[in-house]
Amino acid sequence: MLKLVVDRCKNKPCVEGLYLITDHGERLVERVAEALTGGVSVLQYRDKMRDPEERLAIGMQLKELCSRHQVKFIINDDLDLALKLDADGVHLGQEDGDPAVARALLGPGKLLGISTHSLEEALAAQAAHADYVGFGAIYPTGTKEVPETCGPEGVAALKGKLRIPVVAIGGITRDNAPPVLEAGADAVAVISAILSSRNPALAATEISLLFNRNAPHPRGIVLTVAGSDSGGGAGIQGDLKTISLLGSYGASAIAALTAQNTTGVSSVLPVPAEFLAEQIDAVLDDLPVHVVKVGMLSTPENTAVLAERLSAHGMKMVVVDPVMTAKGGAALLEDEALAVMKKRLIPLSYLLTPNVPEAERLTGLTITDPAGMELAARALHLMGAKNVLIKGGHLTDGMVTDILYDGNAFTRFTAPRVLSRNTHGTGCSLASAIATFLAQGEPLPGAVLRGKLFITKAIKFAQPLGHGHGPVNHYQAARDPSEPLP
């Protein structure tokens, strides 16, 4: 006999992903509007200070924004306001209302969330027919004092015992969220890490990408915009090898064709800018691309059209490897294109990854040591790059140090120099690896570290193919069991 089972939870909106809670700062609607473009799933309007009329007016604006971006709109504690705004639900604190009354007034089609601080409170919320629980504080937070924190282990303790989603809250940032997600949180609630940022849209994008770390493979989508390398070691070919071997899905838009092998580039045929734009639009109109990696562009027209299409599609995660010359010395970027890159493309970059000669050409500085690298990184940040990674392989030290600058602090990534002439494709592959790890939900510092370890192994295992600078070994680097990537 067949038994029909009706799952009422499936008839209600789920709660997952990035859960944004409002603050009491100025320009609230404007800042929320920016943040919603970065992948917010749920917005909770929390207002303990404004009078009822002002709360209603702001609530109406926030609801309209949520409707436009298909984001669930939740009211904090104020059931009357939730009903007036016909919000998607209400969230109650432990001392802020009766869940039974809220459920009766909201009806079955709306969301009811309850703040909890322990397994016992979470189970009680579930028994009271809550659709989800807010759980925390996970970490210390500046928005309110908490007697103790739960940590990611607190989330893990809940997951096997609850049937409803868990929204982790309290002190969560881009860099400390991964353990919370790995512990099983369905959503993370964030306030200041996004709304106090100078770029709420980018801050929201960084955190929303972290949820890809629990997705099935291929995990994350990377679009590479670069030149084709007929020798297969760098450019589009090297990028797609890197992206695929590291577990993401790679798409491409070709900016130029090259006739090249390990001994050098003999000819370059740029793609018409209009056709490059068509390739980019074809991909971005269809696939939910998480990160765009940029390599060789060749002409000022291609550089300009790429900047235009990235802006039109609202791409925020753009890794730019400013390819200027081939390993053998052939020019791959026209002088006029460099000016366009500095003016239009660098300001769109989430991460800029020049080597020392490229950083010198972009800034006009002479770099001979790590102090010079730091000075150049500051200059490139002032040009508009959100983050700058200057690669130190062209310096002569026995240890190769790459320096990451995020506008506030420097982080150094150091590895022993591998003595090898088989280094064709190192810059392309490193940038592609970082883009891949970002798309898979790794915060920027971790993505750079994993990319650095990958390219170091790729050089270490390189085979002497051809008569010149052989390619790095993408395959062995991705699969080396003796030195697993973290």
Tokens 């700058």 belong to which residue?
388
pLDDT tens readout for residues 377-415: 999 999 999 999 999 877 777 788 999 999 999 999 988
Instruction: Please report the beta strands in 163-288, taking only residues with DSSP state E, as ranges in sequence order.
Output: 166-169, 187-190, 221-229, 249-261, 264-270
Neighbours of 67 (CB within 10 A): 11
Query: Catalytic one among 151, 428, 441, 457?
Result: 428
pLDDT tens readout for residues 214-271: 999 999 999 999 999 999 999 999 999 999 999 999 999 999 999 999 888 889 999 9
Q: Respond yes or no: is residue 391 known to be catalytic.
A: yes
- Its CATH class, for the domain covering 221-479, is alpha beta
User: What's the pLDDT score for residue 262?
Assistant: 87
> Does residue 483 carry a pLDDT above 70?
no
User: What's the pLDDT score for residue 244?
Assistant: 97
d(CA 457, CA 426): 11
Query: Catalytic one among 171, 427, 441, 451?
Result: 427
Tokens 């917005």 belong to which residue?
43
> Does residue 138 carry a pLDDT above 80?
yes
Query: Catalytic one among 423, 441, 451, 460?
Result: 423
- Amino acid type, 354: P
Q: Respond yes or no: is residue 468 known to be catalytic.
A: no
d(CA 27, CA 324): 42
Under a CB-based contact definition with an 8 Å cutoff, are residues 445 and 403 in contact?
Answer: no
Mean pLDDT of the chain: 91
Per domain, the residue ranges of the chain are 14-213, 221-479
CATH label, 14-213, candidates 3.40.50.720, 3.20.20.70, 3.90.550.10, 3.10.450.50: 3.20.20.70
Query: Catalytic one among 391, 452, 457, 460?
Result: 391
Any idea which of 103-107, 114-118, 440-444 has the lowest mean pLDDT?
103-107
Closest CA relative to residue 474, chosen from 232, 289, 141, 202 = 232
Q: Per the structure block, which two tokens stand in for 338? A: 């460099």
Q: Respond yes or no: is residue 150 known to be catalytic.
A: no
> Does residue 28 carry a pLDDT above 60?
yes
Q: Respond yes or no: is residue 425 known to be catalytic.
A: yes
d(CA 314, CA 278): 16
Q: Respond yes or no: is residue 427 known to be catalytic.
A: yes
Mean pLDDT of the 64-81 span: 96
pLDDT band at 425 (very low <50, low <70, confident <90, very high): confident
pLDDT band at 484 (very low <50, low <70, confident <90, very high): low
Q: What is the pTM of this model?
A: 0.93
Query: Catalytic one among 116, 303, 426, 436?
Result: 426
The number of angstroms, rounded, from the C-alpha of 120 to the middle of its chain's C-alpha atoms is: 35
Q: Between β-strands 399-405 and 410-416, what pairing exists: parallel, antiparallel or unpaired?
A: antiparallel
The secondary element (H helix, E strand) that includes residue 389 is strand 387-390
3-state class of 354 per DSSP? coil
